[in-house]
Structure formats: C-alpha cells, structure tokens
Amino acid sequence: MGLQNTIFNAFNKSIVFGLVGITVTDRYAGVCPIRGSSMSPTFNPSSSSSSSFTDDYVFLEKFCLDKYKFSHGDVVIFSDPTNYKGRCVKRIVAMEGDYVSNVNGATKVPEGHCWVEGDNSGFSSDSRTYGPIPLGLIEGRVTHVIWPPERIKKVDRRIPPQERLAF
C-alpha cells in the first residue's frame, strides 16, 4: 500500500508541475530557438550552417501582450503571416499611424498593425515583402539571448534609422 501511495503522489505532483509549467510558458514567458540569418548580427552572427548547436536561444516575455505594449526597436516573435505554421523574429520599425518609406513611396501603418524588419536586410523576408503585420500575430518580445553561454546578453532596443521613416 505504501509503494502505491508513493507512486500515486509522485504522479499527481508531476501532473501539477507540468500544468503549471505549461501555463507559465503559455502566459508569461518562454524560451525559443532563433534560426537563420535575417537578424544577424543580433542573433546567430555566424549562422553559416543550419545546426541547432549554433542557434541562439532567447527568452521571450509575454507581459507585453497585455494591451499590446510594444514600442519602436522591440524585437518580437510572431506568427508568419504567409505560413500559419511558421514563426518569425524581427524588429519593430514603425507602429500604427507611422509612415514608412518603401519602394511604393510612403506607407502608413494601419491601426492595430506594426511594421517589422530584420536587422540583416539583405537576407530578411519582412514587412517590405508582406506589408504591416497585425499586432495579434505577435507572440512576445525577445529580451535576452540565453544560449549559447558565450553569447548571453540583453537584447537592446535599437531605433531604426530615420531615413526609413517618412514624415
């Protein structure tokens, strides 16, 4: 009887810890791998191979999703607007109401949207390709690189150069 109780208690505790862990990663924070070179040198500065050992892993905070508290220069992870299974990481360049200059002239970012671009513009598919993204697609803001150990750092909010913004 004692062994059965011990096993039952251990099983119950593991279920509770699993549910708490899922809730925390779904609601408050998480860890995500960053693959590709579109955000180089901020992430994966030497991403010549597609090995997961060289990928940067980042801390993703989700408190910003409450009332969509984002600002210029934030690095965000969002659902790919062209592929519902994909995820993208880019920097917010413009918020709703801002004008962004592009090949078509100046584009006004509509309400409830933002304009995102990769730091490595030559290798980035971003708002210049698919236009402004809805704020509802954003899954969280990247705050820190947490892996690999030699790259642990805070991700700085970098404001885009003014020539990209039209006034």
Residues labelled as active-site residues = 38, 90
Exposed e or buried b per residue across 79-105, where buried means at least 16 C-beta atoms within 10 angstroms of its C-beta: bebeeeeeebbbbbbbbbebebeeeee
CA 43-144-41 angle, to 5 degrees, is: 20
Contact between 44 and 34 (Cβ < 8 Å):
yes
